[in-house]
Amino acid sequence: MKNIIIASTSTLHGGNYLEYLLPELQSFFSNVKQLLFIPYARPSGISHDDYTKKVSEAFNKINISVKGIHEFENPVEAIENAEGIFTGGGNTFLLVSQLYKNNVIDALEKVVKNGTPYLGTSAGSNICGLTMNTTNDMPIVYPPSFRTLGFVSFNINPHYLDPIEGSTHMGETRETRINEFHHFNPQPVVGLREGSWLAVKGDSVKLKGTLTARIFKRNEKPIEVIPETELNDLK
């Protein structure tokens, strides 16, 4: 049975890394002594070692040790033997490229669908959808495919931002980009605001946190859904 947290972000304004999620994660990873961390997305170009250290410092607060996938000689075996898995944020193009390059994307999909608890934040959440095409990131590298893990039956737009009333910014809004996506792709998109997450338990997909999420469907007006809404029929 799938057991997944798909979080829009790792850090809220004014807070520390993963601080707002730690109470939830303490329960979520209650049977995990060592967490496997996938640092491939490398936010701001941080090294795998430094990123893993940052994550380790956060999880030490709830008595969970962390080891980076890059520290293992065989990354596929590391995934297959993991008690729990966390994929952090950064650049989604780089993350997906590395998942394919290291031949771990299929193993990751298999173990999580079979019940290994998984946490994704930002880019690590983006890959939980059917494809990575609704990322906000620049294409700094080119992955062999945009297909991702398909833990949910829709795409995800993490860090979803609403247009700022009165703004003079002339670039595209998130909503504009998602509408462009729907000219070529049929699947719904969930705009997940910072501080929100999706809790996936088996076939249940439920919005968590205190904020609404924005749901986009092809050829339909977007709608807002409140926390605790079930999204398992969204497809």
Q: How far is C-alpha 146 from the chain's CA centre?
A: 15
The per-residue pLDDT for range 194-205, each reduced to its tens digit, is: 999 999 999 999
The residue length of the chain stands at: 235
Q: DSSP characters for 187-219?
A: S-EEE--TT-EEEEETTEEEEESSS-EEEE-TT
Catalytic residues: 122, 137, 159
pLDDT digits (tens, 9 = 90+) for 77-129: 999 999 999 999 999 999 999 999 999 999 999 999 999 999 999 999 999 99
Residue 141 has pLDDT above 70, yes or no: yes
pLDDT digits (tens, 9 = 90+) for 25-75: 999 999 999 999 999 999 999 999 999 999 999 999 999 999 999 999 999
Interacting residues of 104 by C-beta distance below 8 A, sequence separation 6+: 69, 75, 76, 79
The answer to whether 141 and 93 are in contact (CB under 8 A) is yes
Report residue 166's pLDDT band, with 50, 70 and 90 as the boundaries: confident
> Domains (ranges, CATH) in the chain?
3-225 (3.40.50.880)
Q: How confident is the model at residue 164 (pLDDT cuts 50, 70, 90)?
A: confident
**Structural contact between residues 150 and 187, judged by C-beta atoms closer than 8 angstroms:** no
Percent with pLDDT over 70 in the chain = 99
Residue 170 has pLDDT above 70, yes or no: no
